[in-house]
Amino acid sequence: MNLTLKIWRQKNASDKGKMVDYKVTDISPDMSFLEMLDVLNEQLINNDEEPVAFDHDCREGICGMCSLYINGEAHGPDRGVTTCQLHMRMFKDGDTITIEPFRATAFPVVKDLVVDRGAFDRIQHAGGFISVNTSGNTIDANAIPVNKHDADDAFSAATCIGCGACVASCKNSSAMLFVGAKVSQFALLPQGKIEATDRVLNMVKQMDEEGFGNCTNTGACEVECPKGISLENIARMNREYLSASLKG
Amino acid sequence: MSLDSKVPQGPIKDKWTDYKNHIDLVNPANKRNIDVIVVGTGLAGGSAAATLAELGYNVKAFCFQDSPRRAHSIAAQGGINAAKNYQGDGDSTYRLFYDTVKGGDYRSREANVYRLAEVSANIIDQCVAQGVPFAREYGGLLDNRSFGGVLVSRTFYAAGQTGQQLLLGAYSAMNRQIGRGKIKMYNRHEMLDVVKVDGKARGIITRNLITGEIERHSAHAVVLGTGGYGNVFFLSTNAMGSNVTAAWKAHKRGAYFANPCYTQIHPTCIPVSGDHQSKLTLMSESLRNDGRIWVPKHMKDVEAIKTGTLKPRELAEEDRDYYLERRYPAFGNLVPRDVASRAAKERCDAGFGVNATGEAVFLDFASAIQRYGKETAHVKGLDENDAVLVKKLGQEVIKNKYGNLFQMYEKIVDQDPYNTPMMIYPAVHYTMGGVWVDYNLMTTVPGLYCIGEANFSDHGANRLGASALMQGLADGYFVLPYTIGDYLSNDIRTGAISTDTKEFEEAEKEVREKLEFFVTNKGSHSVDYFHKKLGKIMWNKVGMSRNVKGLTEAIAEIKALRDQFWKEVKVPGTNEEFNEELAKAGRVADFLELGELFAKDALNREESCGGHFREDSVELDGEQKGEALRNDKDFAYVSAWEYKGEPSDAVLHKEELEFKDIELKQRSYK
């Protein structure tokens, strides 16, 4: 396949940035999207130009490091995948592909297509944990049985990879799907219940301080989430938040 | 320097308890005055950082990713072992210990492995308390499954994403400590050297990957939890950023590097599809619980499948060669990874590979779908003879167990594994070699510790499934926090370590000079060009099957490639910015040295052992004819290499392995 790429180039956080056109040739449909960018970068280096910076690591769809807004969609046109698992067979020969970073006030651009998602970490510092010592002096793991459906639901929420696609897809740059997923995981498990009130209040407070917008129930986040995290998690967070607020 | 493993005296089952009862402790008030650096935030580094901070030390943690949550432990799929005996199938600490030592082909350290088995049950309790959502049965209790190389069901799991959930558990424990200010987290920082003061590790030099700033960080002790070096092969199941740099820099500063040639080749990966490929994707070994591995019996069927005139499902049962079930009836498809990998290679080398490149075998779920389908139909009182219904019900069961893996396969290969068998082939996965450590997990540099995959001690020549996660968390949560305290108890009066000394200055200068070299060397080839070439040499001559000729050639070829690299490498951009190519250049420079030592170690080891098959060391007759032949008389040792400049000058030290509690014998899975 031969393709035209329109890529956002931005030298650093303070640079203004602009779209630049590139051509790539001989792209195999079996390549992943990032492998296609590897081909472009090899070409740029050979021509003494600066390669395009983009985040990636595991290339197995699980680390959450890759991002990219491709043709107006977080992680591109395929469903249920991250950019590293998006394959070129989703495109056609001669296509023009627009590639931008995830755009949100809370995710400042570092360089080209790389953004800083540190805001997600700071939300987790505010309460994304269960306060248990790591001494190993805990009770036997089977001492508290957990209903299988609750365990499965907690797991489904916990599979969030923290990539930020939800934020990038939302017209308000809301992080509620991400935060809702973590709040839900712990809210569903007996181990997490004791500090549930503080957790949801602290995490939501931090989320607001980081500059993420509000949820308007459009549902774009759920559609674009590579891990299929459901909107139910936002609803659950809202319930948790309301009851925590009432408790004061 | 002679190697002292510092294994405590006494019966193996009491060693760890006695040890803990007699070490020196640091009083909580003094812990506040002690700094510890932890490099790497995966299962080992993350759990260590969290626990040390909780104990009261000031922790500085470093990772090259944008968040500790991205460490490659996150990609582990299948599960974590623990000797809980919840299933009542006869499991015990001793059995887990025995399986691990045997699975590692008797090349791991007995005392370390016993300790690992001993603390394993605790890990599960700990993780559950942290909110790790392990799979549960309908009664609410934890579910288990079994893994290659063992006959009990002791693997705890969270669908096919166990590593993710355990890592997020460790990450959440870190977050708690970061929130409390006890861990200072440095994301997007890469460690580029260890600084020694008076012979002790007292700090590191890092590069801020966003700004390019070179920084000095001091501490009373330094812990490396930086993972494995499988990316020396270029193509591997490791994350793209996984590298050997921290471990290699430690090696250059005096830490011996042990068993570099021990690399696990994992049997169930998605095969290579072409030259463009940047990495390989693992399909969890847990799939072998339900998948049957086969190739056609007859060459004509191989050809027909390759050309597409015959669909794999259409080939009659009697025309299929379920070679693992045929060769190893006791363990069948669940033989350990080295045995399964070698058997796949043997069939493909004989021409029976089923994809275009001839490097793939089938992993087939048809009979499991049938079996589960019938069972479910029976339970629900439905018609067990309705083929369509049975298939549908069976597929649902398989989907519940492995759904995410099937989806991943389908996305990559563009085939539906519910309806056609998966194609798999062995690939480089996990490194069992690493920095040499004693029982305390300390390297040959005082104050420098190494944990998790980055050290060498627990897996021997071959790692059993679901044991990596166990080791990472055991080291980080339960072992290092004790052993490091014993060392740090001598540092309570030292006070803060200054970074304003000649040792830090010199180390920083060396780091700067190397970075400067890269950005000013106007060469003609990219970093990847060299990395791919290195990978080809490694895979072809230092991979699954090795001989003297190939290894000798590899050593010369890697040296020549290294010389060419330093002349012709081209790195765009500058040091004072976000520059991925520059970061890669430093990592590949280290791989080029490690690769040579790796081949040299493989040449020295004149035995077949674990996944390391020496063509000149094979059983010639008897029941084990054609299987790998280990040589305990001459090679029951850890090879620990001392740095002396060029890898060819490295000096071999031997730690003789003693097996007092397990009798050394031929592994048999027949």
Q: What is the mean pLDDT of chain B?
A: 95
Residues B2 and B6: their CA atoms lie apart, in Å, by 12
List C-alpha distances in Å: A193 to A185, B342, B503.
10, 49, 50
Residues A196 and A199: their CA atoms lie apart, in Å, by 5
Once rounded to an integer, what is the mean pLDDT over residues A211-221?
A: 95
Evaluate whether B64 touches B36 at the Cβ level (below 8 Å). Answer: no
**Per-residue pLDDT reduced to its tens digit, A20-33:** 999 999 999 999 99
Query: Cβ contacts (< 8 Å) between B277 and chain A: which residues?
Result: 35
**Per-residue pLDDT reduced to its tens digit, A66-82:** 999 999 999 999 999 99
Query: Which of B68, B127, B412 is nearest residue A85 as measured by Cβ atoms?
Result: B412
Once rounded to an integer, what is the mean pLDDT over residues B184-204?
A: 98
Residue B218 clears pLDDT 90, i.e. is over it: yes
CA distance B117 to chain A (A): 14
Query: Cβ contacts (< 8 Å) between B130 and chain A: which residues?
Result: 129-130, 132, 134, 191
User: Any CB–CB contact under 8 A between B128 and chain A?
Assistant: yes
Query: How is residue B661 written in tokens?
Result: 């509690």
**In the prediction, which pLDDT does B559 show?**
98
User: Any CB–CB contact under 8 A between B178 and chain A?
Assistant: yes
Which residue has 């029941």 as its token pair?
A: B623
Global pTM reads 0.96
The interaxial angle of helices B387-413 and B366-380, nearest 10 deg, is 140
- State the pLDDT confidence band at A136, using cuts at 50, 70 and 90: confident
User: Any CB–CB contact under 8 A between B570 and chain A?
Assistant: yes
Hey, are the CB atoms on B74 and A130 less than 8 Å from each other? Answer: no
| Substitution target from B141, B240, B584 for chain A, most A beta carbons within 10 A | B240
Once rounded to an integer, what is the mean pLDDT over residues B25-42?
A: 96
List C-alpha distances in Å: B103 to A159, B98, B649.
31, 8, 32
Residue A199 clears pLDDT 90, i.e. is over it: yes
Hey, are the CB atoms on A35 and B277 less than 8 Å from each other? Answer: yes
User: Any CB–CB contact under 8 A between B428 and chain A?
Assistant: no
**In the prediction, which pLDDT does B1 show?**
66
**In the prediction, which pLDDT does B289 show?**
87
Query: Which of B139, B277, B526 is nearest residue A45 as measured by Cβ atoms?
Result: B526
- State the pLDDT confidence band at B667, using cuts at 50, 70 and 90: confident
Hey, are the CB atoms on A142 and B74 less than 8 Å from each other? Answer: no
CA distance A49 to chain B (A): 7
User: Any CB–CB contact under 8 A between B466 and chain A?
Assistant: no
**Residue ranges of B 85-114 with Cβ closer than 8 A to chain A:** 86
Q: Which amino acid is at B648?
A: S
Residue A51 clears pLDDT 90, i.e. is over it: yes
Q: Which region among B6-20, B389-403, B577-591 has the lowest average model confidence (pLDDT)? A: B389-403
Hey, are the CB atoms on B125 and A62 less than 8 Å from each other? Answer: no
Hey, are the CB atoms on B175 and A80 less than 8 Å from each other? Answer: no
Q: Give me the residues paired with residue B428 across strands.
A: B265
**In the prediction, which pLDDT does A144 show?**
96
Residues B122 and B542: their CA atoms lie apart, in Å, by 38
Query: Cβ contacts (< 8 Å) between B66 and chain A: which residues?
Result: 55, 65, 116-118
Query: Cβ contacts (< 8 Å) between B141 and chain A: which residues?
Result: 142, 145
Residue B284 clears pLDDT 90, i.e. is over it: no
Query: Cβ contacts (< 8 Å) between B125 and chain A: which residues?
Result: 136, 138-141
**Residue ranges of B 145-174 with Cβ closer than 8 A to chain A:** 158-159, 161, 164-165, 168, 171-173
Interface A-B, measured as beta-carbon pairs within 8 A, has a size of 218
Torsions phi, psi of B518, nearest 5?
-60, -45
Hey, are the CB atoms on B74 and A58 less than 8 Å from each other? Answer: yes
Q: How many percent of chain B have pLDDT more than 90?
A: 90
Q: How many percent of chain B have pLDDT more than 70?
A: 100
Hey, are the CB atoms on A136 and B119 less than 8 Å from each other? Answer: yes
| Substitution target from B143, B411, B528 for chain A, most A beta carbons within 10 A | B411
Which three-class secondary structure state does DSSP give residue B71? coil
Residue of A nearest to B124 (CA): A141
Residues A171 and A174: their CA atoms lie apart, in Å, by 8
Once rounded to an integer, what is the mean pLDDT over residues B640-658?
A: 97
CA distance A227 to chain B (A): 10
Query: Cβ contacts (< 8 Å) between A80 and chain B: which residues?
Result: 407, 411
User: Any CB–CB contact under 8 A between B412 and chain A?
Assistant: yes
Higher pLDDT, A162 or B544: A162
Residue of B nearest to A111 (CA): B578
Hey, are the CB atoms on B173 and A134 less than 8 Å from each other? Answer: yes
Residue B413 clears pLDDT 80, i.e. is over it: yes
Residue of A nearest to B159 (CA): A155
Torsions phi, psi of A228, nearest 5?
65, 35
Alpha helices in B335-452 (DSSP H): 337-349, 366-380, 387-413
Q: In terms of C-beta distances under 8 Å and separation of at least 24 residues, what long-range contacts does A203-206 make, across chains too?
A: A203/A123, A203/A124, A203/A126, A203/A127, A203/A128, A203/A179, A204/A179, A204/A237, A204/A241, A205/A126, A206/A122, A206/A123, A206/A125, A206/A126, A206/A127
User: Any CB–CB contact under 8 A between B130 and chain A?
Assistant: yes
**Per-residue pLDDT reduced to its tens digit, B94-152:** 999 999 999 999 999 999 999 999 999 999 999 999 999 999 999 999 999 887 778 89
Q: Beta strands B651-656 and A96-100: pairing type?
A: unpaired
Query: Which of B70, B140, B158 is nearest residue A147 as measured by Cβ atoms?
Result: B140
Torsions phi, psi of B553, nearest 5?
-65, -45
List C-alpha distances in Å: B546 to B338, B351, B538.
14, 19, 10
Residue of A nearest to B128 (CA): A141
**In the prediction, which pLDDT does A248 show?**
63
- H-run or E-run covering B323: helix B323-327
| Substitution target from B16, B67, B243 for chain A, most A beta carbons within 10 A | B67
**In the prediction, which pLDDT does B336 show?**
86
Query: Cβ contacts (< 8 Å) between B185 and chain A: which residues?
Result: 121
Query: Which of B137, B165, B241 is nearest residue A158 as measured by Cβ atoms?
Result: B165
Higher pLDDT, B438 or B286: B438
Of the candidates B337, B463, B562, B667, the residue annotated as catalytic is B337
- Whether B605 sits among the annotated catalytic residues: the reply is no
Query: Cβ contacts (< 8 Å) between A163 and chain B: which residues?
Result: none
Q: Which amino acid is at B355?
A: N
**Per-residue pLDDT reduced to its tens digit, B69-84:** 999 999 998 899 999 9
Hey, are the CB atoms on A60 and B125 less than 8 Å from each other? Answer: no
**Residue ranges of B 280-299 with Cβ closer than 8 A to chain A:** 281-282
Query: Cβ contacts (< 8 Å) between B136 and chain A: which residues?
Result: 145-148, 151-152
- State the pLDDT confidence band at B163, using cuts at 50, 70 and 90: very high
The interaxial angle of helices B580-604 and B548-568, nearest 10 deg, is 160
